Amino acid sequence: MTISALTQQKLIPQLHQVAAWAASMDTNLFNRIMESEPETLLKSDVASCDEIDRHRLVEKLLALFDQEKLLDKDTYQYYSKLGHPSLADQVRPYICDKKKGFLVRRVAINIAEACGTTGVLPELLAAALDQGDDPSTRVEAACAVARIGDLDAKAQLKPLAYGRGGSDPDDRLKGWALKAVWPDHMTAEELFEALTPPKSSSLFGSYQYFLFDLPESPEKCLKPPDLRTALNWAAKPETEDQSFDDIKEWIINKGWQHLLEVPDLAMSFAKAALTKLAKHPLIASGTKGKPFSETILQDHTRRRTVLLAALTISESIGKCPTLLAYSKTPLVTTDDLPWLIEQFKKTSDDKQPLWIKLIGLVFDPQKPGHLELLLEAKKRCPLIGKDFAWMNPVEIDSPAGRNMKAQYLKHQRVEKRLEQRHKKPLLQPPPTERVLILLDKFEADDPNAWWRLNLEMTLDPNSRYYEFQRELEPGSWLCLFGKMRTSKCELGLSKPPDNM
């Protein structure tokens, strides 16, 4: 099983697994391997060995890592087998000694974490919070506290969640601290205060994973009273970073779900929705089972509640009221015209112009009942009559009447020309013949045939005229390939393939 390597006996690499299995049943072999290649024993059933053997193995491994004779690649998965009563005393010196190398300190921390050795929590906390310690060692220590620490220990990492723990160039300390303190030691207000755009866009570390996992963890879900805070955060410009997209989607869907349960939640939801619509066509994508565009159209009560709140944010609506009607997740639709007219009657004078704009956006003369509703509203509300003056009757012989007649006649002429254009006969010769003719000309050294060929290839069999900016038609390509097949046959170059 061994080969000679200088003065030492080494296991054949292909037999490491076999040696580890055999060592589990043979004490002498176990001891021999511990002296030469103790890392191999990690793959054995070392957990069934007595405490003394596990103590010796940890001691041997730490010594070799300290001398940098071993690397900890793929070893973490085996560390949980090394637990024994005095493990804390073994790893503590390595965790505390800042003069030790990063590798052996990382291994000591990882062994303590994998074995759930809470006896070194004070040392792990000290290392994580020590701004003068090695940054990577601090991250390993914070990770261990987040995973095996009790509530009191985890709470002490809270300053790191706000970036108040010294250098943290890739947010890894921040990520482990957030995992440790949310939601047990952090309110929703504190959580969203701590969330900042990641410093590194190329690293998916502990902070990026926390942002990714937040919407996916039911135990970390926001409670309904926290949704106001969350939606107000989502409405801030600094949350435009794409790393927050999933969190904002989650917040908006939760906000919609609890919209009618939480007082004043509609206002916060409206702010977040308008902020999103200012740069995106959708307020939210929706859940896996149902798109938000469908959800918002079916729930008139929630949608109109949000619209009422949105109309109080006059500076946002005044700039672009079309956001409310013409996005892919509209807050107002053509079905809302009767409701809009009733709301207009109830509203104060300073808000009436906004309601009239919305009425104009959703009014559809083709929709049954719309014309009658608006005509009736014009009679009762002078302001609506003023904005919809184009609906007033006009005398035919008045200047306005003559102008409208001229516009109508112009429109009729355009319509007639279009109708005649569509009645034109199909192009002759047909497009396929045109392509073949120009191919022959091009082969006859006529360079002008090339650009004309591209033009002809925009035609389809039913074309009556050229339509520019069209893609080349498949039929023309088939004709072109057919010509190529024929040319090859005539030249005797090859038999044309059947699928050409």
- Interval 177-217: pLDDT, tens: 999 999 999 999 999 999 999 998 888 999 999 999 988 87
11: part of which helix (H) or strand (E)? strand 8-11
Instruction: Single out the residue of 286, 294, 360 nearest to residue 322, CA to CA.
Output: 360
Instruction: Single out the residue of 389, 283, 387 nearest to residue 332, CA to CA.
Output: 283
Please check whether residue 2 lies inside any domain of the structure: yes
Domain count across the chain? 2
Please check whether residue 260 lies inside any domain of the structure: no
Q: What is the pLDDT of residues 350-364, one digit of tens each?
A: 778 888 888 888 988
> Among 38-47, 120-129, 161-170, where is mean pLDDT lowest?
38-47
Q: What is the pLDDT of residues 7-40, one digit of tens each?
A: 356 665 655 566 656 666 666 666 666 666 777 7
Please check whether residue 325 lies inside any domain of the structure: no
Confidence band (pLDDT; 50, 70, 90) for 150?
very high
Q: Over 70: is that where the pLDDT of 164 sits?
A: yes
- Cα–Cα distance measured from residue 137 to residue 74, given in angstroms and rounded to the nearest whole number: 19
Question: Exposure pattern of 85-98 as b/e (b: 16+ CB <10 Å)?
Answer: eebbebbbebbbee
9: part of which helix (H) or strand (E)? strand 8-11
**pLDDT score of 156:** 96
**pLDDT score of 16:** 58
- Cα–Cα distance measured from residue 21 to residue 30, given in angstroms and rounded to the nearest whole number: 10
Please check whether residue 473 lies inside any domain of the structure: yes
- 319-342 mean pLDDT: 86
Provide the token pair at 228.
Answer: 């106001």
**pLDDT score of 490:** 45
Q: Which residue has the higher pLDDT, 37 or 283?
A: 283
Confidence band (pLDDT; 50, 70, 90) for 450?
confident
Provide the token pair at 206.
Answer: 């502990």
**pLDDT score of 481:** 53
Beta-carbon contacts of 106 under 8 Å, excluding residues fewer than 6 positions away, are 72, 136, 137, 140
Query: Could you give the 3-state DSSP secondary structure of residue 397?
Result: coil
In terms of DSSP H, where are the helices of 289-336? 292-298, 300-310, 314-319, 322-326
What are phi and psi for residue 55, nearest 5 degrees?
-60, -45
**pLDDT score of 3:** 41
Confidence band (pLDDT; 50, 70, 90) for 218?
low
Confidence band (pLDDT; 50, 70, 90) for 495?
very low
> Among 99-113, 166-180, 302-316, where is mean pLDDT lowest?
302-316
- 46-63 mean pLDDT: 82
Please state the separation of Cα 232 from the chain's center in Å.
20
**pLDDT score of 470:** 54
- Cα–Cα distance measured from residue 90 to residue 78, given in angstroms and rounded to the nearest whole number: 17
Q: How many C-beta neighbours within 10 Å does residue 270 have?
A: 24
Whether the model pTM is above 0.85: no
Q: Over 80: is that where the pLDDT of 48 sits?
A: no
Please check whether residue 151 lies inside any domain of the structure: no
Please check whether residue 426 lies inside any domain of the structure: no
Provide the token pair at 490.
Answer: 């005539």
Instruction: Single out the residue of 61, 59, 79 nearest to residue 70, CA to CA.
Output: 61
- Cα–Cα distance measured from residue 435 to residue 449, given in angstroms and rounded to the nearest whole number: 10
**Helix (H), strand (E), coil (C) string for 421-455:** HHCCCCCCCCHHHHHHHHHHHHHCCCCHHHHHHHH
Please check whether residue 25 lies inside any domain of the structure: yes
Q: Over 90: is that where the pLDDT of 322 sits?
A: no
Residue span of the structural domain in which 446 resides: 431-491
Confidence band (pLDDT; 50, 70, 90) for 390?
confident
**pLDDT score of 498:** 47
In single-letter form, the type of residue at position 390 comes to W
Provide the token pair at 321.
Answer: 């009221």
Looking up tokens 């001891």, which residue turns up?
Answer: 31
**pLDDT score of 7:** 35
- Cα–Cα distance measured from residue 16 to residue 21, given in angstroms and rounded to the nearest whole number: 9
Average pLDDT across the chain, whole number: 83
Q: Over 70: is that where the pLDDT of 62 sits?
A: yes
Please check whether residue 370 lies inside any domain of the structure: no
Strand partners, 9: 4
DSSP 222: P
Instruction: Single out the residue of 418, 353, 416, 414 nearest to residue 387, CA to CA.
Output: 353
Q: Which residue has the higher pLDDT, 413 or 2?
A: 413
- 455-472 mean pLDDT: 72
Question: Exposure pattern of 408-427 as b/e (b: 16+ CB <10 Å)?
Answer: eeeeeeeeeeeeeeeeeeeb
Instruction: Single out the residue of 227, 289, 217 nearest to residue 256, CA to CA.
Output: 227
Confidence band (pLDDT; 50, 70, 90) for 227?
very high
